[in-house]
């Protein structure tokens, strides 16, 4: 499920350019917002979020152990970052990771989302918001969930931070773009 790229599918269905070749060349909701507007971006965001939440929720519903649930979440995120069906050119994992976290703990997901929103409101930079929220995720999990999910959150945070390497470089140079209205 993680390998299904909501951005690419939404852009194809709405006759928009391939997000891997336009804007930031990233198949994620922020780039879809840039190239197609709010509606396709919202659909992309929902799709990416659900492909993290649904597998974790299914694992929980099937009575899987915390270890299997955690591995399911990591697998969904890896599928999003490196999708088998789209030449391993995936997004950066923020929405999918948030979906996984909601499956782990609604309170953790709420804290992460609130962190993203506060940073976005203050600085108006999506990648900075994602990076700060990602850095705080293991801390939230440590206090609000289990050790198994804490370990998973560290792995997931490292993956998301890795995918934001170019954004970090642009932030350090003061050249990262702001969130568009």
Q: Which residues contact 164 (CB under 8 A, 6 or more apart)?
A: 92, 127, 130, 131, 134
Looking at residue 150, what is its pLDDT?
98
Structural domain boundaries in the chain: 6-173
Cβ 95 vs Cβ 45: under 8 Å: yes
**Please, what are the averages of pLDDT over each run of 10 residues along the chain (181 residues)?**
94 96 92 95 98 98 98 98 91 97 98 98 95 98 98 98 96 89 63
Quote the CA–CA distance of 25 and 178 in Å, as a whole number: 16
Report the 10 Å Cβ neighbour count for 121: 10
pTM exceeds 0.85: yes
Looking at residue 181, what is its pLDDT?
63
């Amino acid at each position: 499920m993680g390998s299904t790229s909501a951005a690419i599918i939404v852009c194809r269905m709405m006759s928009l350019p391939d997000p891997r070749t336009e804007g930031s060349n990233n198949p994620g909701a922020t780039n879809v917002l840039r190239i197609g507007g709010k509606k396709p971006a919202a659909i992309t965001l929902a799709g990416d979020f659900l492909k993290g939440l649904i597998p974790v929720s299914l694992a929980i519903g099937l009575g899987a152990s915390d270890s299997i649930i955690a591995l399911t979440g990591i697998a969904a995120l890896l599928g999003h970052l490196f999708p088998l069906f789209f030449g391993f050119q995936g997004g950066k994992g923020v929405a999918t990771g948030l979906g996984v976290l909601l499956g782990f703990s609604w309170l953790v997901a709420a804290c992460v989302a609130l962190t993203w929103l506060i940073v976005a409101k203050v600085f108006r930079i999506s990648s900075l918001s994602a990076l700060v929220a990602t850095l705080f995720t293991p801390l939230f999990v440590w206090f609000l969930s289990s050790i198994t999910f804490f370990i998973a959150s560290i792995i997931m945070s490292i993956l998301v931070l890795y995918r934001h390497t170019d954004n970090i470089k642009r932030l350090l140079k003061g050249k990262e773009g702001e969130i568009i209205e």
